[in-house]
Structure 1
């Protein structure tokens, strides 16, 4: 697969300023796609931006991914994350990579190119457990993390199940499913006054919390004077 030749055939492609062996193109006004080829020419790293494109951040992410060969190879995990990244005033502490089968950036246009590209983006370490299955990776990458938005806030790794006997809301079955911390906070607030109800959730380390209301707050069976705060939630999820 000749990556440079394939990229040269993309309409209106141009060199990525300040980064060798890298290019950018804009398929539509809201998007900028940037790709850096690995030094041996056999793999590439692509970062896509929506609405807001930061040249410096993009170059830093691509350079970091290339330096560490992030997500390279057919045996790479569906999602790979490496901490130790920082740039400017951004809060990102990591760079993540989605495998070709997960991102599908070039499906329907150039399948051979798609198979040698990692989709890379600035990220937060608290967003990943490291053992995500293919299905979990697709869900996280395409529906939850918003990897093309450079102004985004952390989307913690969070699995939850709940039952609220007052509102009638609840999850199905005994397994905990992925959700956002906004949903968790909403259901924690709704627990107050709902005797016999619970919210159960886990973080990226597999640590679990069970919050209940029984005339007072209970967290893992221990009485609490006040209900869980947003700061507490983000702390136990590893994002503070």
Structure 2
């Protein structure tokens, strides 16, 4: 990969925070696209030539235009593999798919996450689960953005939101529409 003009390899910068899937912000895309980052995918995550030329795979890192909101820099190998497989990186018409981890439990529908912690999820799933907990006293949805900020929405006759990393952690009442707008804004930050 080329140098950045200061003797540093851009590739090193892309993978500085994460050896499996790294993103470098500040990319300026051609007019008509909104990409603002470049993502690099390591061979452990892409396994691109595993069938045709398996001996080549360990030596190839892939790079694509991307959206900075899609990557935390702290993805595990399993999360990097999932992001690589689900983001559609070769589709240059794709929109942003922000990084999101969540868990939930709905006392009304009895729906819940099956993993013990927060797992990768699609933003539409977050919005669906936030809507679905209405009327389920004691139900909650926890969600985390790419910065590692965590919020917990609960229902106890009304919606409440608690900001764990960025606030005092005490729940405050919030309307559903405001909650949905709040969640979307935090994912794209």
Q: TM-score, normalised by structure 2?
A: 0.82
Q: Which residue of 1 aligns with 2:107?
A: 165
Stretch moving more, 94-103 or 220-229: 220-229
Instruction: Point out the structure with max Rg over C-alpha.
Output: 1
CA distance in 2, matches of 1:173, 1:133: 16
Q: Which runs of 5+ in 1 are unaligned?
A: 1-37, 40-66
Q: Determine the C-alpha separation between the residues in 2 that align with 1:121 and 1:230.
A: 30
Deviation at 1:108, TM superposition (A): 2.1
Structure that is richer in strand per residue: 1
Task: Return the offset for 1:111.
Answer: 2.6
Structure 2: runs of 5+ lacking an equivalent: 3-8, 163-170
1:231 matches 2:155: no
Q: In structure 2, what is the equivalent of residue 54 of structure 1?
A: none
Mapped to 1, the partners of 2:94 and 2:146 lie a distance apart of: 19
Q: What's the counterpart of residue 174 of structure 1?
A: 116
- Give the equivalent residue in structure 2 for 1:35: none
C-alpha separation in 2, matches of 1:211 and 1:153:
26
Measured after TM superposition, the shift of residue 86 of structure 1 is 2.0
In structure 1, the partner of 2:66 is: 123
SS in 2 for 1:235: helix
1:155 matched residue in structure 2: 97
Q: Distance in 2 between matches of 1:209 and 1:83?
A: 25
- Flag the 1:223–1:72 CA change in 2: closer, same or farther, 3 A: closer
The one of 28, 37, 45 aligned to 1:94: 37
Query: Deviation at 1:166?
Result: 1.0
Asked whether the equivalents of residues 71 and 79 of structure 1 are also in contact (C-alpha less than 8 Å), the reply is: no
Instruction: Give the whole-Å Cα distance in 2 for the aligned partners of 1:70 and 1:147.
Output: 20
More deviation in 191-200 or 114-123?
A: 114-123
Could you tell me how far apart the structure 1 residues matched to 2:42 and 2:125 are?
A: 28
In structure 2, distance between residues paired with 1:120 and 1:175: 30
**Residues 166 and 96 from structure 1, CA distance in 2 versus in 1: closer, same or farther, beyond 3 angstroms?**
same
Query: Residue 229 of structure 1: CA displacement?
Result: 4.8
- Asked if residue 209 in structure 1 is aligned to residue 126 in structure 2, the reply is no
Cα deviation, 1:52-78, whole Å, max 9, x if unaligned, reads xxxxxxxxxxxxxxx7236889xx700
1:1-240 equivalence runs, <5 A: 38=1, 68-69=10-11, 77-87=19-29, 88-142=31-85, 144-220=86-162, 221-237=171-187, 239=188
Taking the aligned partners of 1:154 and 1:193, their CA distance within structure 2 comes to 31
Q: Is the CA contact (8 Å cut-off) linking 2:14 and 2:39 kept in structure 1?
A: no
| SS in structure 2 of the partner of residue 107 of structure 1 | coil
